[in-house]
Amino acid sequence: MTNVIPTSQVSSSTGLRTLAEKVWDKHLVTKGEDGTPDLIYIDLHLLHEVTSPQAFDGLRLANRKLRRPDLTIATEDHNTPTLAIDKPIADLTSRTQIETLRRNCAEYGVRLHSLGDIEQGIVHVVGPQLGLTQPGITVVCGDSHTSTHGAFGAMALGIGTSEVEHVMATQTLPLNPFKTMAITVNGTLRTGVTAKDIILAVIAKIGTGGGAGYVLEYRGEAIRALSMEGRMTICNMSIEAGARAGMVAPDQTTYDYLEGRAHAPRGADWDAAVAYWQTLATDDGASFDAEVIIDANELEPFVTWGTNPGQGVSLSGSVPNPADIVDANERSAAERALEYMDLTAGTPMKEIRVDTVFLGSCTNSRIEDLRAAAEIIKGKTKAEGLRMMVVPGSARVRIEAEAEGLDQIFLDFGAEWRFAGCSMCLGMNPDQLEPGERCASTSNRNFEGRQGKGGRTHLVSPLVAAATAIRGTLSGPWDLVQDGDQ
Amino acid sequence: MQKFTTVTGIAVPLRRSNVDTDQIIPAVHLKRVTRTGFEDALFAAWRQDPDFVINKKEYQGGRVLIAGADFGIGSSREHAVWALRDYGFDVVLSPRFGDIFRGNSGKQGLLAGQISEADAETLWNLVEAAPGIELTVDLVGKTVRVGDLTVNFEIDDYTRWRLLEGLDDIGLTLRDEARISEFEATRESWLPQTLPARSPESTH
Ligand code: SF4
């Protein structure tokens, strides 16, 4: 991070502050001097089985206490099976990680939601669902998609194992200030275009490194119109643009989502909290270090063709020709990607046939995502030979979906209805692609081998996932209308 | 972290340069869920050879490793330092270190002292002539003493200070613990708490 302009210096001349700066200032324990970082207080620490074991062990070795068990919560997600969850986990490494988390949480008094528990699920689905993720707080987790929680106007950062240990012991983190970038999405999304399409378009526009050093703030009419689920989808993938975090200022939609949740403030506390939350929005006239403007009216469903999330086009477009790419690095990356993805330049995206559809991950596995997909597939038949896997983000989402009969819609369609977890998003459990298998996935990373060795991933929205499962080729809801299906 | 002043212990001569972190601890040994227990993984590939220096009985219990230039280059894995610490080394002396390795060492209480090529050669010869000989590493004076011989080593002032004070990153932050407690006293009571667990107020 060279040439980082400390955010605190940018608009201090005017006294006007952005959302990110306000949250930062509020959590400053000590201000760094002579190039040393600021010390920032952490309100909420989320743990899972993969990045916590050595942090706990470091604590134990140094004979240190977990400073604030009451600000810490753990869930099992990355390794958990999504079938037969009552049986011992077959894979030894996975089982060891889960068992270690259980022992550590018991020893240090950390609240843990284990496999089988109603609050178990993907850590970034669980925090908001419990009402723990709130506007204006700082949230960290040893996982890069912690940015999800920024949808509430929280400063949410993914951290590494040694930082996890640091937060455990001190409830603080030494951090350097960030730059701020406004991503303004004007206009209105057309029917069939979703939050996922906005963020894929943003990443294609600024590139996978475009957000490096920045905290992104999503603003504008189209963002205001989104549900909390949609805002989470967008903030979730901020990391895919290289950003440190993504945020959306809280508003009535945020308050309505939170009110009544298990850990949301109640009574007089609620009023006090809302009064504070209302002060968080970026001041009119506050300046950002950079700004990007997107017109929602023009957006179409977006899909990726390559092996990083920035390699995407509109669904109505075609696989690009690397020869047309000016930047030499990007050109060779595109060439490599097409080879790995087994795609030919110029092929219309809609002619690409997929083998598997994965509806899940912390990007798109909340109830709204499942409802949207179910509505499209209801009464339809799955494409011949295609497999569809539906993995709710949390046990609670699964139960909620079952109460609404969504499970039956998926099962009737011929999809698999699984238990909650990260699942095929990263294939740490048995849910993996076979070599060469092509997948339309609602997750966030299309890296080589991410969903299984040799697997080929196209990132899509839940609506595109559903339409694709019906037609067998990459498709959007509009294509179904044209088929005369609706 | 322990405060580091002097260490007196058996010296182990590792006459090799460009020892990268993959050789210090091969990747297959990274799967543990603990921060300790990496002692057997240290130089695991080389230790298959019974003649490898660490396998020799005179050098058992070694605390000071004298290595060739460019020790600890390669991947950033913190495990390399853990493995050396777990085995029992408190000091590595080398004419040059990989940057990340040197940074990680200071954070984990391993002294990475830079000596000249000539002094490395002198120390190797001396130790090999009297296997199992102990030497004394003095961080205050930045010297290595063995018998009548004294050689100097280099270490940056900041890392030296941290080692002398016994401060890892967390220890550094905890020097401001009073400030953290003060900050905590000002936090609003309605901020979220994970404990005790609560149930939803209404259905969502
Ligand atoms: S669902 Fe995927 S991206 Fe999200 S936390 Fe799990 S592995 Fe990470």
Please give the pLDDT value at position B163. Answer: 95
Please give the pLDDT value at position B180. Answer: 98
The better pLDDT of the pair A14, B2 is held by B2
Residue B204 has pLDDT above 70, yes or no: no
| Contact at CB, A69 and B179, closer than 8 angstroms | no
Classify residue B175: in a domain, yes or no. Answer: no
**CATH number of the structural domain spanning residue B93:** 3.20.19.10
Instruction: Please list every residue in chain A whose beta carbon sits closer than 8 Å to the beta carbon of residue B176.
Output: 29-30, 39
- For the sheet with A387-390, list strands across it: A416-417, A387-390, A356-359, A438-441, A456-459
> Quick one: A393 exposed, middle or buried, by C-beta within 10 A (0-12, 13-18, 19+)?
buried
Nearest Cβ partner for A166 among B170, B184, B191: B170
∠ CA B194-A47-A277, nearest 5°, is: 50
Please give the pLDDT value at position A5. Answer: 35
Tokens read off for A171:
């409830």
Please give the pLDDT value at position A13. Answer: 58
Full DSSP string of A192-259: T--HHHHHHHHHHHH-TTTTTTEEEEEESHHHHTS-HHHHHHHHHGGGGGT-SEEE----HHHHHHHT
Classify residue B191: in a domain, yes or no. Answer: no
Measure Cα distances from B150 to A183, A270, A458, B119, B143 in Å.
62, 69, 64, 10, 6
Task: Compute the distance from residue A145 Cα to the ligand 1 centre, in Å.
Answer: 7
Tell me the residues of chain B between 12 and 31 that have a Cβ less than 8 Å away from chain A: 31
Q: Could you tell me if B179 lies within 8 Å of chain A, comparing CB atoms?
A: yes
List pLDDT tens digits, range A282-298. 999 999 999 999 999 99
Q: Could you tell me if B186 lies within 8 Å of chain A, comparing CB atoms?
A: no
List pLDDT tens digits, range A137-160. 999 999 989 999 999 999 999 988
Residue minimizing CA distance to atom 8 of ligand 1: A145
What are the residue ranges of helices labelled H in B138-198? 157-165, 169-174, 177-185
Please give the pLDDT value at position B201. Answer: 79
Is A443 in a helix, a strand, or coil?
A: coil
Q: Could you tell me if B100 lies within 8 Å of chain A, comparing CB atoms?
A: no
Is A113 in a helix, a strand, or coil?
A: strand
Q: Which residues line ligand 1 (CB under 6 A)?
A: A 77-78, 122, 124, 143, 145, 361-362, 422, 425-426, 443-444
Beta pairing partners, A473: A353
Q: How far is CA B197 from the centre of its chain?
A: 41
Q: At what angle do helices B157-165 and B99-107 cross, to 10 degrees?
A: 30
Q: Could you tell me if B194 lies within 8 Å of chain A, comparing CB atoms?
A: yes
Classify residue B190: in a domain, yes or no. Answer: no
Do you find a cis peptide bond into B196, omega within 30 degrees of 0? yes
Q: Could you tell me if A381 lies within 8 Å of chain B, comparing CB atoms?
A: no
C-alpha to C-alpha distance for A132 and A262, rounded to whole angstroms: 8
Q: At what angle do helices A406-413 and A395-403 cross, to 10 degrees?
A: 90
Domain encompassing residue B138: 6-165
Nearest Cβ partner for A170 among B36, B174, B188: B174
- Residues 6 or more apart whose Cβ sits within 8 Å of residue B181: none
Q: How far is CA A74 from the centre of its chain?
A: 18
- State the CB neighbour count (10 A cutoff) for residue A344: 10
Is residue A30 a contact partner of residue A40, using CB atoms and an 8 Å limit? no
Classify residue B187: in a domain, yes or no. Answer: no
Beta pairing partners, A47: A74
Confirm or deny that A141 is annotated as ligand binding: no
Is B71 in a helix, a strand, or coil?
A: strand
Classify residue B143: in a domain, yes or no. Answer: yes
Prediction pTM value:
0.89
C-alpha to C-alpha distance for A252 and A459, rounded to whole angstroms: 30
> Quick one: B191 exposed, middle or buried, by C-beta within 10 A (0-12, 13-18, 19+)?
middle
Residue B170 has pLDDT above 90, yes or no: yes
- CA A125, A201, A423, A157 dihedral sign is negative
Tokens read off for B23:
């050789």
Between chain A and chain B, the number of residue pairs with CB atoms below 8 A apart is 113
pLDDT, block means (10 residues), chain A with 486 residues: 37 80 97 87 96 94 96 95 89 91 98 96 98 98 95 94 94 93 98 96 92 95 98 96 95 98 97 98 97 97 95 97 92 94 98 98 97 97 97 97 98 97 90 96 94 95 98 96 66
Assigned architecture for domain A19-294: 2-Layer Sandwich (3.30)
| Contact at CB, A39 and B193, closer than 8 angstroms | no
Confirm or deny that A235 is annotated as ligand binding: no
Task: Compute the distance from residue B159 Cα to the ligand 1 centre, in Å.
Answer: 37
Element (H, E) at B66: strand B64-67
Rounded to an integer, the average pLDDT of B51-62 is 96
What are the boundaries of each domain within chain A?
19-294, 305-479
C-alpha to C-alpha distance for A221 and A247, rounded to whole angstroms: 15
Report residue B10: phi and psi, to 5°. -65, 135
Q: Do domains A19-294 and A305-479 have the same CATH topology?
A: yes
Task: Compute the distance from residue A74 Cα to the ligand 1 centre, in Å.
Answer: 15
Nearest Cβ partner for B200 among A43, A262, A265: A262
How many CA atoms lie within 13 Å of B80's alpha carbon, on the beta-carbon side?
A: 25
- Residues 6 or more apart whose Cβ sits within 8 Å of residue A352: A319, A343, A438, A458, A473, A474
Is residue A303 a contact partner of residue A474, using CB atoms and an 8 Å limit? yes
Please give the pLDDT value at position B73. Answer: 86
Report residue A96: phi and psi, to 5°. -60, -45
Is the domain A305-479 a CATH 3.30.499.10 member?
A: yes
A329: left (phi over 0), alpha (psi -120 to 50) or beta: alpha
List pLDDT tens digits, range A110-142. 999 999 999 999 999 999 999 999 999 999 999
Of A179-188, A250-259, B29-38, B171-180, minimum mean pLDDT range: B29-38
Locate the chain B residue with the closest alpha carbon to A49.
B33
| Contact at CB, A264 and B201, closer than 8 angstroms | yes
Classify residue B196: in a domain, yes or no. Answer: no
List pLDDT tens digits, range B127-149. 999 999 999 999 999 999 999 99
Is A295 in a helix, a strand, or coil?
A: strand
Nearest Cβ partner for B200 among A109, A171, A260: A260
Q: How far is CA A96 from the centre of its chain?
A: 26
Q: How many domains does one find in chain B?
A: 1
Confidence of residue B124 (pLDDT cuts 50, 70, 90): very high
Distance from CA of A42 to the nearest CA of B (A): 10
Tokens read off for A247:
């945020």
Mutate to test the pocket of ligand 1, among A47, A426, A447, A459 (most ligand atoms within 8 A of CB): A426
Task: Compute the distance from residue A426 Cα to the ligand 1 centre, in Å.
Answer: 7
